[in-house]
Structure 1
Amino acid sequence: MTGMKKNRGITRRKVLQSGASLAVGAGLITSIVRTTPARAAGGKVIIGAFADGGLTPFKEKIIPLAKEQGGFDIQFLEDEYGVTLEKWFADAQNSAGQYDLYLLDDPWVPQFGAADVLEDLGAGGIDGNDKDWIGSMIDMGFWPPRAGPRVKGFESAEPKLITVPFVGDLQTLTYRNDVYGSAPATWDELIAKGKEGVAAGKIKFPVVFRGVSGNPIVTSWYPVFLSFGGEFFDDKWNPTFNSEAGRASADFFVGTMKANTAPGVVEFDSDQEGAAILGGDAGAIIQYSGNALKADDAKQTKVPGKLDFGVVPKQVKAISQMGIFIAGVPKSAPNKANAIEFLKWYTSADAQKALATAGSIPVKRSGFAAEKPGNRLIPVALQQLDAGCLPRPRTPDWAKVEELLGIQLNKALQAGSGGGDALNTAAEQVKDYLTQAGYYK
């Protein structure tokens, strides 16, 4: 298992910053949950979370409901994103017992799973096989993973449900409806109609994305890679992202997409790409939920009414990247039983509908049936989930893999060509790193 320092490279996307403005009145939410009889008093639950706008609907609307409907006394403790991984991992390893529940970034699950510091929630009565779960979300909660490659020492271990999805977050397409009319179905259509929009003077360039080395560029390239049919690793952790499909996706990304985006894209991060779509310069963007929702904030967009949401374009598939808030209960939790009961309540159909009504993407299919979803992205998110949405590979070493890959993609983006060669170089570097880490012994 890797040490904590190797995970410092993971950066949380700047997501869901406008979640609070999209929450609706508490009265409607309460009416939804009241259809279920109140549980016996649930007791104290101490939740550790990193500060993020994506949790605003939960804090403002769901915590009061948990008190009213389940008798749960929620203490919600926030820290900056950059310190929470090490803080919680130390808490769990040292059995300090300061928290009953961690709200993790999903790439952290393998590190906690490999250290065996989280409760088996399945044994606690939470059914990971419930068909109401969004399948690709609940799969992230198991360690070792139920499908795909496994790290050394866990090849034959029985998967346990050590975390459960908490708030959904995923990439979708945001596009100019006055340029495209409807969501472009393919990457070729996105570029071609975008060029028409440029010629008509409606936009300055068809597409915008993040080009900064590391997590930003890999996150932007990821849905292109998946849509071309790429896969990251085989079942033995051999890199396969430089397959023919992978190389084609990288060539398209650093070549065609760069030729049809903003100057200086190699230095773009979330703020710059967001300014391009909200300012009216770009025709389309693939982005995570919170940034997408800024399209409906009149204070942030210069093109109100002209931005719509859709499923990401396809080459052979239409698959985006998923990254969710996910909850785990440490074995040292002082109020362990309360925390598990809270998760049962929170993942009930009615509570999930309340979450959707508050403006967050639910984690169970029944939540998407809310009568009045809190924003118009929620039904599109379900369309994307059904079309295809995958997490990053389930390894404690993903941060290093992403770093190596991002460096090479950024170099190719600067050159405007050589994406396939960049993946070949990155594959060699990743193979060397994983060899040293003992993946192939």
Structure 2
Amino acid sequence: MSLKNSLLTATALAVVTAGGAFAETTVTIATVNNGDMIRMQGLADEFTAANPDIKLEWVTLEENVLRQRVTQDIAAKGGQFDVMTIGTYEVPIWGSQGWLVSLNDMPDEWDADDLLPAIRGGLTVDGELYAAPFYGESSMVMYRTDLMEKAGLEMPAAPTWDFIKQAAAAMTDKDNEIYGICLRGKAGWGENMAFLTAMSNSFGARWFDENWQPELNGEEWTATVNYYMDLMNNYGPPGASTNGFNENLSLFQQGKCGMWIDATVAASFVTNPNDSTVADKVGFALAPDNGLGKRGNWLWAWSLAIPAGSDATDAAKKFVAWATSKDYTALVASKEGWANVPPGTRTSLYENPEYQSAAPFAEMTLGSINAADPTNPSVKPVPYTGVQFVAIPEFAGIATQVGQEISAALAGQQSVAEALEKAQALAADEMEAAGY
């Protein structure tokens, strides 16, 4: 560096110090490309205006890619990210391994006690909160009230799978590109396998018996996947094996789905008249059951966590506290309306009359979240926790491969029996190799 540049740098530092400012800290945030997260990025100028010493950099990725990138980075202690968007699956595993920074010291006004108990519990390990929920969700049935009425049917508040099939048949009008039901078909442990695992619980299936032996080729999983194939092949949209959450959301908003069983968080997007052509024609019901005492709904929170390798922990905590606060909720409400605030994380939101009035789905969302039981997800006893996942490190890899086999069956490349035999074999091999 030249003498001139050295003097300029020293002068700049002296000015910064004299002015009482701080050197700028960059916080790199890895997040998922869904509507709530993209909205957060759009509002982030409010945070940086209040914190001019913090610069935010965004890495926005499709769900499967995000999971792969953050998992690789944290396992290798790569340090690429200061804030990671992760889910209820990763938090307890990574937290117990010391990979995440505890958030037990969040400011008092953040109000940890206001978090919904089911959501907070899923993000806590041995009394330490390791992630702050940005939004929480279960799953439920979203349906076209006009098509249901036209079919001469009435959606029960708590439908069965048999009713769902009956309604899907009655609402399908392929000549006009209306499909009775849209479900996830895209391969991925958090895509088609999230839906199918939750569905399988209501059919009495489980991933593993009490001795950690896989049961994927058993009669309950076979019944689940055959029922799913029947729905999708007869009443679903073409190309369903490549449809995930975002693709089905788009189809529903365009008026092409009679029913969609998916994340409760989608409710604000399907009822938003700016985005949805059917916004005023949407009803909601609990996820279906099979009369066995378990519904096919899941429990999830997309949450913000700080990896232990971050060199910007304090700045990252400031951002996380802002993005998951009651003030952020009020900010979204002021810009987008109460119906569009991130749902499913705080008790106070569901006690707020403005939210109850603006969000016709609020009660069904809260009921769905409270109905999920991660400690007893299936009809039979299991050795694991998790509703639409199994909370062990090996699950993501196993379920992604299983998802590929089932997606291939949906695409007509193999039979259900072939897919599940392959799934059983690969799960057994992986579990044996892992020492279960």
Residue aligned with 1:254, SS? helix
Q: Which residue of 2 aligns with 1:320?
A: 297
C-alpha contact (below 8 Å) 1:183/1:311 kept by paired residues: no
One of 105, 109, 123 as aligned partner of 1:141: 123
Structure 2 Cα separation of the partners of residues 258 and 410 of structure 1: 12
Structure 1 Cα separation of the partners of residues 195 and 67 of structure 2: 25
Q: Structure 1 length as normaliser, TM-score?
A: 0.69
Asked if 1:178 corresponds to 2:146, the answer is yes
Q: Which residue of 1 aligns with 2:342?
A: 360
Asked if 1:207 corresponds to 2:181, the answer is yes
C-alpha contact (below 8 Å) 1:103/1:328 kept by paired residues: yes
C-alpha contact (below 8 Å) 2:271/2:278 kept by paired residues: no
In the alignment, structure 2 segments of 5+ residues that lack a partner are 1-23, 374-386
Q: For residues 35-114 of structure 1, what are the structure 2 equivalents within 5 Å?
A: 46=27, 48-50=29-31, 52=33, 53-60=35-42, 64=46, 75-81=55-61, 82=65, 86=69, 90=73, 94=77, 101-109=83-91, 112-113=94-95
* Structure with larger RCO (C-alpha < 8 A, sep 6+): 1
Structure 2 Cα separation of the partners of residues 289 and 72 of structure 1: 35
Question: In 2 relative to 1, CA 197–89 (structure 1 residues): closer, same or farther, beyond 3 Å?
Answer: closer
Q: Structure 2 length as normaliser, TM-score?
A: 0.69
Q: Which residue of 1 aligns with 2:166?
A: 192
Q: For residues 395-410 of structure 1, what are the structure 2 equivalents within 5 Å?
A: 395-410=392-407
Q: Which residue of 2 aligns with 1:16?
A: none
Identity rate of aligned residues, in percent?
19
Give the total of aligned pairs: 381
> Shift of residue 50 of structure 1?
1.8
> Shift of residue 432 of structure 1?
0.5
Question: In 2 relative to 1, CA 336–198 (structure 1 residues): closer, same or farther, beyond 3 Å?
Answer: closer
Q: Which structure has the larger Rg over C-alpha atoms?
A: 2
> Shift of residue 139 of structure 1?
3.3
Q: For residues 282-293 of structure 1, what are the structure 2 equivalents within 5 Å?
A: 282-289=257-264, 291-293=266-268
One of 424, 427, 430 as aligned partner of 1:427: 424
Q: CA RMSD in A?
A: 4.3
> Shift of residue 91 of structure 1?
6.9
Structure 1 Cα separation of the partners of residues 75 and 412 of structure 2: 45
Question: In 2 relative to 1, CA 439–123 (structure 1 residues): closer, same or farther, beyond 3 Å?
Answer: farther
In the alignment, structure 1 segments of 5+ residues that lack a partner are 1-42, 144-157
> Shift of residue 405 of structure 1?
1.3
Q: Which residue of 2 aligns with 1:7?
A: none
C-alpha contact (below 8 Å) 1:253/1:419 kept by paired residues: no
Question: In 2 relative to 1, CA 121–72 (structure 1 residues): closer, same or farther, beyond 3 Å?
Answer: farther
One of 354, 369, 373 as aligned partner of 1:385: 369
Question: In 2 relative to 1, CA 272–66 (structure 1 residues): closer, same or farther, beyond 3 Å?
Answer: closer
Residue aligned with 2:134, SS? strand
Q: Which residue of 2 aligns with 1:413?
A: 410
Question: In 2 relative to 1, CA 417–186 (structure 1 residues): closer, same or farther, beyond 3 Å?
Answer: farther
One of 110, 116, 129 as aligned partner of 1:161: 129
Question: In 2 relative to 1, CA 235–44 (structure 1 residues): closer, same or farther, beyond 3 Å?
Answer: farther
Structure 2 Cα separation of the partners of residues 342 and 275 of structure 1: 30
Residue aligned with 1:363, SS? coil
C-alpha contact (below 8 Å) 2:134/2:301 kept by paired residues: yes
C-alpha contact (below 8 Å) 1:166/1:363 kept by paired residues: yes
Residue aligned with 2:103, SS? coil
Asked if 1:119 corresponds to 2:101, the answer is yes
C-alpha contact (below 8 Å) 1:141/1:162 kept by paired residues: yes
Residue aligned with 2:280, SS? coil
C-alpha contact (below 8 Å) 1:180/1:194 kept by paired residues: no
> Shift of residue 175 of structure 1?
0.4
Q: Which residue of 2 aligns with 1:309?
A: 284
Structure 2 Cα separation of the partners of residues 263 and 168 of structure 1: 30
C-alpha contact (below 8 Å) 1:106/1:325 kept by paired residues: yes
For residues 330-352 of structure 1, the C-alpha deviation after alignment (integer angstroms, 9 at most, x for no partner) is 33444545655776676666766
Q: For residues 209-248 of structure 1, what are the structure 2 equivalents within 5 Å?
A: 209-215=183-189, 216-234=191-209, 237-248=212-223
Higher mean Cα deviation, 196-205 or 239-248? 196-205
Residue aligned with 2:86, SS? strand
> Shift of residue 200 of structure 1?
12
Structure 2 Cα separation of the partners of residues 99 and 257 of structure 1: 39
> Shift of residue 420 of structure 1?
6.0
Structure 1 Cα separation of the partners of residues 205 and 78 of structure 2: 41
Query: Residue type of the partner of 1:393?
Result: V
C-alpha contact (below 8 Å) 2:182/2:237 kept by paired residues: yes
> Shift of residue 386 of structure 1?
2.1
